[in-house]
Structure 1
Amino acid sequence: MVKNLLNYGIQPNGKVVSESNQVSRYDASSLTTFFSETASGCYVPRALLADLEPTVFDVVRTGKYEHLFHLEQMVSGGENTTNSYTRGHHSIGGDMIGIVLNCIRWLANNCNGLQGFLLFHSFYGSTSSSFISLLMECLTIIYGKISELEFSIHPAPQVSSAIVEPYNSILTTHATLEHSDCSFIMNNKGIYEIRHGNLNIDRPFYPNLNRLIAQVSFEKSNYIISSITALRKPNKGYC
């Protein structure tokens, strides 16, 4: 998302810098593919941030990009699933899926020509595995042939925070096979080795890994979108 902001000259408050100072590789008319313009002239990402755990988005709500997203675009639950796939997919996730789908419906209705969904998640966390698999199933039912493109991270023993990660990964893979039209899969071990070996960061932390993932995801998403459909045009949109 930060990469997108830089390329389109959008500041953290949603305002666009003057065109003379804007450095972008992309045609300005494609800006509305990923952003919608508000009545005040600010641009808001066509994005929804969802997590079953209540405190995850505090860093966004109180950080540099607190004015970029509408509060309605950050949906969080009130209970930690403790990495349980069953709780995230059925009990807690089942209670929250309606709220998320309503938010997605609102975003989709604001697109003049909805082309598909980009989903960023891991295969091993509670929300990112169990709830996302439930969400993708619902998107297939509601939106039919609208594309669902995944950018996902697979677990590795070297970078692991929970013993149930392999189980969550297997269950998520099985649950999303029929709903994903295209998947870009990254591996935690590979990302860790790139940061450690190629970029000379002796002890990479999650922010280091996330920045690399974000950069790769941005480049790949723009490549696949421009390859499969005429999305980089006005009146088209991806959520």
Structure 2
Amino acid sequence: MTPLPAGLPADSHVHSEFSWDTGGPDSAARGTMRATCARAVEIGLPALFFTEHLDLEDAWFTDLEDFADHERHLVGEDGVVAVPRFDVVGYLEEIDRCRADFPQLRIGTGLEFGQPGLRLDAARAQLDLSVFDRIIGSLHTVPLERPSADGGSADGMDADGESADGEQSADGARSPRPGRRAEPNTLLRRRPALEVIRDYLAEVPAQVAGEGPHEVVTHLDYAVRY
């Protein structure tokens, strides 16, 4: 790819309708990539990299209230999130159309790969990572339960993933099965904030150093946004 011109820097972390959390290319988000390119040209931005979400978690637990209305159909009755498969063909076709329509703008392909150190094999099985210009890593989830000496968990759940009060914790939140991961906003209903932040930061070095195609790990402030 050609060097960037002097002036404004590239925006190297942009999402479009091909990131699942927007609703997808058949939702109200349709056309986001094209609109973003048009706006970039309007303000004189030299380049964009559409780093779409690649989340391959198979044990992501959430509370329904932590998802926006247009995302809630992805949450099962057990609280486990089922993210739709990334439409790489549709994404690359739209990239090509935007490159043709906005020749003055450098448009790069990319992924924001969630938990790359844990999901690399799943990613390689699903798509060819080498076709993307830029891959960034991110840490969105950490283990929901902390193991305790008795085989249960330090947040009051027993070894079978049930809370002492049954299916719900004292604040009404659902109790996940062992092995689940969760985002900080879900964790903060179940554990002290300091503990959540420490667990998040403790996992960052492994994501940075782990094998994978990612160049950087982005938004390390994720856990403090809530």
The TM-score with structure 1 as length reference comes to 0.30
RCO (CA 8 Å, sep 6+): is it higher in 1 or 2?
1
The TM-score with structure 2 as length reference comes to 0.31
Structure having the higher helix fraction is 1
